Structures are given as C-alpha cells and as structure tokens.
Structure 1
Amino acid sequence: MIHSLTLSDVLADHARSRPQAAAVVDGEVRLTYPELEARVTRLAAALAERGTGPGDRVLWLGQNSHAVLELLLACSRLGAVCCPANWRQSTDELRFVLGDLTPRVVVWQPSDAVTPLVQADGAWIRAGQEYEAFLASGSLRAFDQVADTEPVLALYTAAFDGRPNAALLSSAALLAHATSLQIVRRMEPDFAFLASGPLFHVGTTMFALATFHLGGKNVFMPAFDAEELCRLVDAEKVTQAFLFGQMIDAVVAANAGGKYDLSSMRFISHSAEWDAMTTVDDSPWCRSKMGGYGQTEVGGMLTFLGLAPGGSGFAGRPSPLVQVRILGPGGIEVPPGEVGEICARGKTLFSGYFARPELNAAKSADGWHHTGDLGKREPDGTITFIGPKLRMIKSGNENIYPAEVERALKTHPAVADAAVIGVPDDTWHQAVQAVVALKGEATEEELIEHVKGLLASYKKPRRVVFVEAVPKKGFTPDYDALDAAHGGGNYPGA
C-alpha cells in the first residue's frame, strides 16, 4: 500500500521529523510528537488486547480532551472507528447512540446524562486515572498497515427523520480536507489551534486535524470559557480558536482590561475592541469571514468564499479536491441561475453513514453525494447556498432538526400532533418554537421540560403555541403556513 497515508502514518512521520515540536497541550499534559506517538502506540495495543480490531467502534463520552485525538489516532492504527459523541445530549439520546453504534470500548467522563448508562463490564473505561492506566498497559509494538480509505472517524449528524446518523470519514478524506483548509487559511508549521468548540462538531475537528497534519500544536480546553480562553491564547501563543460571534463578544468582555496578550490570534475582523486585541488575518479564509458551505459529510467545507473574492455566490467556489454540481430531478445538471440540489464527489467526501444501507444508496445515487441542500450556480461560476431541502433551524452554531424535536414532543401523552419552526432571535439567529395540538392537558412549561428531558437542552422549544390542529401538506406539517401564522423565519440560506 505504497500510496496509502493514514492519520497514524502522519503521526509516525511527525515523531521522526519533528522530535522537539509540541503536539498537544491539555491542562498539565504537554506532549511532543514522539511522546504522542508512544502513547498512541500503547493505546492501540491496549485497545487491541481488549478485542478492538478493524471496523470496530470506540466511543468517547465526554468533553474536549487530548484523549479524543489519541483515541482517533489509535483507531487509525487499528483500522477501527472513533466517535466523539455529543456530551450535551440527554441520556435518551446517548442511549440511542450506544445501541446504534454498538461500540467495542467506551471511554467516558461522569455527567448527569452519561453516568446512568455506565455498564460494569470491562468495555467502559473512565477518563482520567483509569484511562491512563489502561493506556500504560499497552505495549510498544508494530501494527499492520491499514488502508487510508478505511473509515476512522464517526460524527453523528443529519437527524432529518428524528434520529441522527453517524457519518463515517476516512483518513484519506480527512487529510484531503486538511490540505484544502491549510491552503485557504494559509496555515504555517507553527500554527497553534485552540479547540474551544466541541470535538463532536466538524468545525472544531477539521481545524484540529489540519493543525495536526501540518505538525502544529493542538491546545484543548474542556468547554468554552472566555477567561480561560484568554489565558491559553496568551500562554500558548494560539493562532486560531473555534469562535463565532457570541463567543468573540464574551472574550472581548473577559479581556476588557487588557490583562492577557491576544495578539498571537490571527483571526477575522469582528469589532473595534476585538481587532485591537488580536491580529486581523489577511488569509482568504479570514478575509471572507470564514465563509463558504459545508457539512459533516464532506469533511467540513465543500466550498470556500475565500476562493472567490468578489464573486456573486456567497458560498464561493469548491475546494480544490472536490467537484460540485447543482442537480435537478433525474440527476440532470441545471443551468446557472436555477435552483437544484448541491451534489458533490471528490477526495474529502465521507464513506457513508454507519449501518444505513438504504440511506447510503439514496445519498450516493448516480455517483454523486446528494447533500440534501439547495443551491444555485451563479453566472460567474460561484455557488449560492439556498437552504436545506428539508427544514433545519440554526440556533447559535447548532443545527436543530424539527423532526427530532417533533418526535420528542409527540412522546408526551397529552400531545396529539406537533410541528416545530424557527423564529428570528437577536442573539442566537433563531430560536425553537413548537406548535402543538393537544389531546389532554399540558402546559407550555411542562412540554418544554419534557423535551429537555429527552434531548440536548439547546434543542428544547423556547416557546410553545397551542392550536386546534397542525396545518398539513399531505402527511407533513405545512411549514410555510406555520411560519406565516407564528412568525417563523431566519432559516439558513434565507
């Protein structure tokens, strides 16, 4: 397999080529690339001794940690698949993930949602001392070569039918995407990335892996904290972090007195206060305000606005390693200016969803990945993203699928029918609003708490409106009528 290059292979080469370079910083943990290589080797051996082999799944249930990167690299060495799950989900949601993914090994951190799921068998390893002892039990030994086309990372996404699906990404796809991102972001070998966003989110993972691929430094924080982020940027000379509007404003407030030096951050222009604290970056990625179109299934970004300065389409042009077509019914490409489904193929695309053969067949029809999103090609060749073919709500940086929230609402014994819309929100762009028809007695507060008990808190309705009947188009809610009647709007792409 002389043409194969896995994440594990990249690590092994960094250990030889960058023997003194910092690879990982996480609290008191500081690892050079040789040290990271040794730990990953031992971890892979320990996982193998626990029965983990090609195609098996390893699940991380916890906040951000260097252990996520170690588990991913160890899985790459074994041909296994690492899945960092959304720790903000409810116990019910995580129970679904466990049943769906059937992991060989689970590494977990205690939380209200996770702890009730912990089993007494040897497959559950608690993060911290137990994880360290497990890792240390592995030997330093050689492993067989693994093809870089084998899936190595699973990220849950696309809950259009009420339950999410695990998108599988190979080493080849992840490294291809990393290369594209390095070009557009103009990343250099001393690049230091702060994983301040969740590692179950492709937006954080894509930068962590691009930094790793380049031989840079990944700095981990368990979850976003503005004051701690300032401290880490100052101490580790961080180049970039996972940040968006509200997070940036919180950082500005936390550093209002100039206590920390944030000048190493080369980031987008945001506000006068932010720009004065940081260094406004001139890379295509930052000049374009990190614009483009992407999804988990394409490794992160499919198109970059930074590749189309002055272009008409606000999603920009495709990544150098993919093809994009706008297809209409029957898989026929539509002419510029007409709306169709954004479809793609190329080096960064995923390998399909785990255990979803029918969905995979539909999504890869005619040799193209059908994104489920609508767009159009402008006369100058750039792409405009219109919006999801199926309804999606964007609150903060989180994707919320109405079908998932509707399913949760309908499990309440007093709910006869329910539909969910997004309404404009000054802070979060959109807020979740439920429209409910009752067959018994229930209050707004009761239904909100019911959903909160089943789903991640950010998915719960902010408000519940009661109606006699939910308007329908065929068998599905008439979302246009619901938006018009109840103030819906601000959907992605609108």
Structure 2
Amino acid sequence: MIHSLSLSDVLAEHARSRPGTTAVVDGELRLTYPELDVRVSRLADALAGRGVGGGDRVVWLGQNSHAVLELLLACSRLGAVFCPANWRQSADELRFVLQDLGPAVVVWEPSDAVGALDRDGGWVRAGADYEELVAGGSVREFPQVADAEPVLALYTAAFDGRPNAALLSSAALVAHATSLLVVRQMEPGFTFLNNGPLFHVGTMMFCLATLQIGGTNVFTPAFDPEEVCRLVDAERVTQAFLFGPMIDAVVKANAGGKYDLSSLRFVAASDEWNAMITVDDSPWCRSKMGGYGQTEVGGMLTFLGLAEGGAGYAGRPSPLAQVRIMGPDDVEVPAGEVGEICARGKTLFSGYFARPDLNAEKLRNGWHHTGDLGRREPDGTITFIGPRLRMIKSGAENVYPAEVERALKSHPAVADAAVIGVPDPAWHQAVKAVVALREGAAATAEELVEHVRGQVAAYKRPREVAFVEEIPKRGFTPDYDALDAAHGGGNYPGSPSA
C-alpha cells in the first residue's frame, strides 16, 4: 500500500521528522511527537487487548482532552472507528448513540447524562483509569491499515428526527486537512487552541490540519474566555475556535491588556480586538473564514478565500473536490439556476454508519447529495441558499422554500420565516409564506412580497403571507408538517394528493 497515508502514518512520520516539536499541550501534560507516538502505540495495543479490531467502534463521552486525539490516532492504527460523542446531549440521546454504534470501548467523563447510563463492560473512566489503560499497552508494530478505511464517526444534526453517524476515512481527513492548511496558509510552528467542541467538525478539522502540518494542539475542556486568554499568552497560540460572541467575551476578559494575545493571527473584528491580536492576511482570514461545508465533506467543501471578489457567497470548491448543482432529475442545471449542491472528491465521507437506504439515496450516481441548495454564478463561484428539505411545484416551475425564506429573512422586520406550498387549481401549488416579525417591528404582507421582488423570480414570490408569533421547529429547521397542517399546505410533488 505504497500510496496509502493514514492519520497513524502522519503521526509516525512526525515522530521521526519532528522529534523536538511539541505535539500536545493539555494542562500540565506536554508531549513531543515521539512521546505522542509511543502513547498512541500503547493505547492501540491496550484497546486491541480489549477486543478492538478493524471496523470496531470506540466512543469518547466527555469534554475536550488530549485523549480525543490519542483515541482517534489509536483507532487509525488498528483500523477501528472513533466517535467523540456530543457530551451536551441528554441521557436518552447518548443512549441512542451507544445503541446505534455498539462500541467495543467507551471512555467517559462523569456528567449527569452519563451517570444515567448503564456502564456494563468496556467502559474506561477518563483520568487515572485511562492513564492506566495507556500504560498497560505495549509498543509494537501494527499491520498497515488502508487509508480508505473509515476512522472517524461524527453525528450529524437530526434534521429528520434521528441523527446519523457520518464516516470519514483517513484519506478524506488528510485531504481536507491539506486543503485547509493551504487556504489558511499554515506554517511550521502553527499552534491551535482546541476550545470549541471536538465532536463538531469545525474544531476537529483544525485539530487535524494542525496535526498534518506538524504543529501544536493545545486542549482546554470547553470555552472559557479567561482561560483562552491565558493559554494564548502562555502557549503563543496562532488560532483558536472563535466567532462573534466568543470574540466579544475574550475582549472583555482581556480588558486592560492583562494577557499578550499578539500571537493570535485571526480575523479582524472590533477595534479593541484588532489591537489585541495580529490581524491575519491569509485568504481564509481575509474572507472572514467564509465558505460552505458540512460534516459529510470533512468540514469545508468551498472556500470564499479561493474566490475573493467573486459573486458567490460560498466561494469556489476545494482543490480536491468537485461541485455540481443538480436539478430534481440529477442533471446539472445551468449557471444562475438553483439546485442541490452535489459533490465528489478526495475529502468526501464514506457514507453513514448502518444506514444502507440513506446511503443509496444520498450517494446515488457517484455524487454526494448534500441536501442543501445552491447556485452556480456566472463567474463560476457558488452561492449557498439553504436546506432543500422539500420542493413546491408551481406550474412547470420548481420552487425551493429555502431560497424564498432567505429573501424574506433579509427584511429588517422579519425575525423568522418559512415557506410552504398550498394547493392551487390552476398552478398545482401556490407559494405561501409564514412569517414571525421581530418584537416591536411591523410589516404588511404586501410590503414583504415587494421586498423579495428582484431577489427571486416572479413565480417564487408568495401569493399569501400569514403572520405568527413563532415558527415551529424540528431540530434546527422549520417543522413543515406542522406548518402545512396549520396553514393549508399540501399537494407536494410525489405526495398521494399530488
């Protein structure tokens, strides 16, 4: 397998090529790459002793820790699959994850939710018990594992009521990390603060890109603005998982300049923030970290940093992926038309764990169908519209609710909006908007319809507008079934009444 390069292989090479580089910092624990490599070998051997082999699952139930990276790398060494579960979930949600994955080993930290679970066999408590597990393993050679084998499972948002574990291979993760470190212009010495949740691809992708470039991963259990300031100062952190409100919290925590944050090379924000850090000039930071992504593509599918000044809000695709905008018939639509964002390439996932029907639907015809809508602009860039979910058929035209919802929500008086299709004797369906206004704001139906004129085609504009206090949700998206029942929706393509 001379063309294979797994995460385990990346670590093994760094252990030889960067013997003096700090790989991990977690509290008082500091590990060079050779030291991390030894611990990962011992952990892999110990897990194998507990019956973990190719394709078996290992779950982490806890906050951020060096153990997350070690377990992932150990699973790569064994050909197993590692899942950092969302520790913020309820006991019932965690119970579903464990029943779904059937892990051979679970490493856990105490919490109310975990305390309500049955911990029968295969459970290792983080801390002293975990360290005992690592120490009990032996350093030995392991058979080569193909980089196409899944190594990381990340659960996606439960848009349809049940989450699914997206499986990412070493090949996909290495490819994505390489694309990201190029756009981010990472250099030797890059230090990343893992303060965002590692069960989320947004933090994990930077953790792995930092590993890929041979940088330093600093771990802290969760976001705490004072601790972020301290660690940035103490470890000369290059980048952290930060956005909007988190940046404001860090500025407040560092009022008076108690900590030196100048090593942080990051996106420009407020004047106070800019004075504390070094505003970075990489394409990633100049573009405000923009683009389109999801767990199934390893993180980012398109980068705004590859299309500065372009027409599309999501930029251009990663150099290791292809994007097509497909219609309902899975044929590419012309530039300027809205369709489903579909992708293939080196960074794509391997499918969902134990979901054969879903995989057949989502990966049909050799393309991953993201479930999101987009548009190819005349200059070749991509605009992300929103979730596809369902389609309205008005005459011979297809109307995607997300496109109209986006236009409606750009009105300053609109707090939230959803769009449904209602039966129409002449046009099969007509577009109806359900709108929740901001507190104290006012707008008429006519005003809102006029507002979307020019943003969407005439056949996509709402014929009716209903005002409500709140849009019902299912997960993060509108509950369209509830909206149909309350506001007369129906007659959708493919439905019994159509």
CA contact (8 A) 1:44 1:74 kept: yes
CA–CA separation in structure 1 for the residues paired with 2:117 and 2:347: 34
Distance 2:161 2:314 in 1: 28
Counterpart of 1:77, as a letter, is: R
Structure 2 match to 1:151: 150
Distance of aligned partners of 1:434 and 1:116 in 2 relative to their CA distance in 1, 3 Å threshold: farther
Structure 2: distance between partners of 1:350 and 1:206: 13
Could you tell me how far 1:433 is from its partner in structure 2?
5.0
Q: Counterparts in 2 of 1:267-278, with a 5 A limit?
A: 267-278=266-277
In the TM superposition, what are the counterparts of 1:84-483 in structure 2 within 5 Å?
A: 84-121=84-121, 123-390=122-389, 435=472, 470-471=486-487, 473-474=489-490
Deviation at 1:289, TM superposition (A): 0.1
- SS of 2:112's partner is coil
Match of 2:33 in 1: 33
Distance 1:298 1:422 in 2: 33
- What SS class does the counterpart of residue 107 from structure 1 fall into? strand
Mapped partners of 2:7, 2:19: distance in 1: 17
Q: Aligned partners of 1:75, 1:421: CA distance in 2, in Å?
A: 48
| Paired position in structure 1 for 2:66 | 66
Check whether the contact 1:6–1:172 (CA below 8 A) recurs between aligned residues: yes
- Letter matched to residue 35 of structure 1: E
C-alpha spacing 1:70/1:365, structure 2 compared with 1 (3 Å): same
Distance of 2:187 and 2:127 partners within structure 1 = 32
Contact 1:95-1:117 at 8 Å conserved across structures? yes
Aligned-pair distance for 1:99?
0.5
Aligned to 1:486: none
Report the alpha carbon displacement of residue 424 of structure 1 after superposing the two structures with TM: 6.9
Secondary structure, counterpart of 1:204 in structure 2: helix
Q: 1:283 to 1:467 in 2, by over 3 A?
A: closer
Q: Secondary structure at the match of 1:58?
A: strand
Distance 2:200 2:438 in 1: 23
Measured in 2, the distance between the counterparts of 1:47 and 1:300 equals 28
Q: Tell me, what secondary structure is at the counterpart of 1:230? A: helix
The aligned counterpart of 1:441 is none
Give the % identical residues. 75
Larger radius of gyration: 2
**Unpaired segments of 5 or more residues in structure 2?**
391-401, 407-433, 440-468, 493-498
Q: CA deviation at 1:7?
A: 0.3
User: 1:422: how far off?
Assistant: 8.8
Q: So what's the TM-score if we normalise by structure 1?
A: 0.81
Normalising by the residue count of structure 2, what TM-score does the alignment of the two structures yield?
A: 0.81
Contact 1:435 1:470 survives alignment (8 Å): no
1:54 alignment partner, SS class: coil
Once the 2 structures are TM-superposed, how far is the Cα of residue 382 of structure 1 from its aligned partner? 0.3
Provide the rounded CA distance (Å) in 1 between the counterparts of 2:488 and 2:24. 52
How far the C-alpha of 1:158 sits from its partner, in A, is 3.8
**Residue 471 of structure 1: how far off its partner (Å):** 3.2
Indicate how the Cα distance of structure 1 residues 110 and 148 shifts in structure 2: closer, same or farther if over 3 A, else same: same
Structure 1 CA distance, aligned partners of 2:166 and 2:357? 14
* Secondary structure in structure 1 of the residue aligned to 2:100: helix
Distance 2:104 2:69 in 1: 18
Paired residue type of 2:75: C
Aligned match of 1:414: none
Partners of 1:155 and 1:133 in 2: CA distance: 27
In the TM superposition, residue 331 of structure 1 has moved relative to its aligned partner by: 1.0
SS at structure 2 position matched to 1:276: helix
Computed over aligned residues only, the root mean square deviation of the Cα atoms, in angstroms, reads 2.5
* Structure 1 residue 257: Cα displacement: 1.0
The residue type equivalent to 1:52 in the other structure is V
* Other-structure match for 2:427: none
Compute the displacement of 1:32 (Å): 0.3
**Paired residue type of 1:61:** L
Report 1 or 2 for greater relative contact order, CA contacts < 8 Å, sequence distance ≥ 6: 1
1:83/1:153 contact within 8 Å kept:
yes
CA drift at 1:472? 5.1
Q: Distance in 2 between matches of 1:359 and 1:423?
A: 36
> Quick one: distance in 1 between partners of 2:347 and 2:333?
24
Residue 390 of structure 1, CA deviation: 2.3
1:113 partner SS: helix
Whether the 8 Å CA contact 1:118–1:124 is kept in 2: the answer is no
Residue type matched to 2:145 in 1?
V
2:97 counterpart SS class:
helix
- Compared CA separation, residues 434 and 340, structure 1 to 2 (3 A): closer
How many angstroms apart in 1 are the aligned matches of 2:155 and 2:333? 31
CA distance in 2, matches of 1:89, 1:475: 37
Partner of 1:7: 7
**For 1:343 and 1:469, how far apart are their aligned partners in 2?**
31
Deviations 1:310-357 (A, max 9, x none): 100010000000000001121111001000000000000000000000
Q: Read off the aligned partner of 2:277 and give its amino acid letter.
A: T
How big is the shift at 1:161? Answer: 1.5
Conserved? CA contact 1:293–1:301, under 8 Å: yes
d(CA) in 2 for partners of 1:337, 1:475: 27
Amino acid at match of 2:283: P
SS at match of 2:2: coil
Are the equivalent residues in 2 in contact too, given 1:6–1:76 (CA < 8 A)? yes
Say which SS state the counterpart of residue 301 (structure 1) adopts.
strand
Q: Is the 8 A contact 2:484 2:490 kept in 1?
A: no
**1:189 positional shift:** 1.1
Amino acid at match of 1:299: G
- CA–CA distance in 2 between the matches of 1:209 and 1:289? 21
Secondary structure at the counterpart of residue 113 of structure 2: coil
Q: Which stretch shifts more, 21-30 or 156-165?
A: 156-165
Match of 2:21 in 1: 21
CA distance in 2, matches of 1:369, 1:251: 38
